[in-house]
Amino acid sequence: MNFQEKLLEASSELRTRAAALAASALEKARSRVNLTSKRISVLNVAGRELNQVARRHAVRFVKQNSTIAAAVRKDVSELARTTYASLASRPTPKKARRAPAGRKSAKKAA
């Protein structure tokens, strides 16, 4: 065997190994993608079911506690109105005037 034949044989062997490695990696990636897609679909279904359950319980909670919620709303509105009225009726405090900065610099120059 001459050098060229050895080189062709070695490159052929490397191509075979590379093809086997690529096929193995592809198969592994496909299996992971399948597993991931199954997990995502399960999570999507669980998310939809969780939203349905949350809505059902929220509706039930609101129906059962609507009188409490109305009382709270009334109290908070009244508190907001009285707070605004007390803040709006206060006179704004006057700011103390400062001496102009120009006079100070004139003293330093003298």
- Structure pTM? 0.44
- The pLDDT value recorded for residue 100 is 67
Distance from C-alpha of 84 to C-alpha of 56, rounded to nearest angstrom:
38
Structural domain span for residue 53: 13-87
**CB within 8 A of 22, min separation 6: which ones?**
none
Q: What total number of domains does the chain contain?
A: 1
In a domain, 106, yes or no: no
In a domain, 26, yes or no: yes
In a domain, 94, yes or no: no
Residue whose pair of structure tokens reads 């405090």 in the numeric block: 93
In a domain, 18, yes or no: yes
Q: What does the pLDDT look like over 54-107, one tens digit per residue?
A: 999 988 988 888 888 889 889 999 999 999 888 887 666 677 777 666 655 555
In a domain, 56, yes or no: yes
Neighbouring CB atoms inside 10 A of 33's CB total 10
DSSP 40: H
